[in-house]
Structure 1
């Protein structure tokens, strides 16, 4: 039982999900910097409003200029089939940042119907009934 408690506590310590990130951003004082770790083409295609673009390969060289030391970080990449956000979180951890990975990534942000920014401005899609209740918040 102790092992399970430790495992799940650590999971919550190092991971967050799109709904929690969206609620924190909507509140106006999220307490973290949201980092989009994808390449430039992906960023240009669409991104989460308020995110900072910092591809994983640039974190070691550029993190300090974009994210104040001591500020918490949440990383995201494409989605659950991609471990880019995990790699980015590791790079931030190596630099001493408190970091969490946003599970679900950009894919689940879009699938839950949250607003994105892209070449055509701000957009959102209807919530996907396979990932979120279509008429209300999940309540998890």
Structure 2
């Protein structure tokens, strides 16, 4: 076992992946994640092909959410609750933030149901912290 505390130098370069491995890793991340700035850019440009899903509770959704998002709590995702979602769209899911794995659970459930899915990096916390617009109120 490496004692990282005993060797304060070289931690950044230790175990560095070769460029091809790193490229494959980051290509994969970009295929399953997006960030608030990219999401907002696509929303403001009117680009279609995606649906934003807030996978938090209805109460948290009502208190504030990404404009245009649909509320579908992660625990309620199943074949019945997703039947009306477009099968050809990318579903962008988010929960509270970096300390919450609700978006990961939702993304897994949706992928297992056959949907293409991306997680919003940083969740609603990063969306709000980055000063993107916030909508309030219950789901339609």
Which TM-score tier does this pair reach, normalised by the shorter chain? 0.7 to 0.9
Written as runs of structure 1 = structure 2, the 5 A alignment for 1:1-140 is 1=18, 2-60=20-78, 61-65=80-84, 67-119=85-137
Aligned length: 118
Structure with the bigger RCO (C-alpha within 8 Å, sep 6+) is 2
Deviations 1:8-56 (A, max 9, x none): 1100110000110011111112420000000111111111110011011
Deviations 1:71-121 (A, max 9, x none): 2111001111111111111011001111100011101111111111115xx
Structure 2 gaps, min length 5: 1-17
Distance 1:30 1:111, change over 3 A: farther
Q: Is the 8 A contact 2:96 2:125 kept in 1?
A: yes
Q: Is the 8 A contact 2:49 2:88 kept in 1?
A: no
Q: Which has the larger radius of gyration?
A: 2
Q: Which runs of 4+ in 1 moved over 3 A?
A: none
The separation in 2 between residues aligned to 1:29 and 1:7, in whole angstroms, is 27
Structure 1 gaps, min length 5: 120-140
Higher-helix-fraction structure: 1
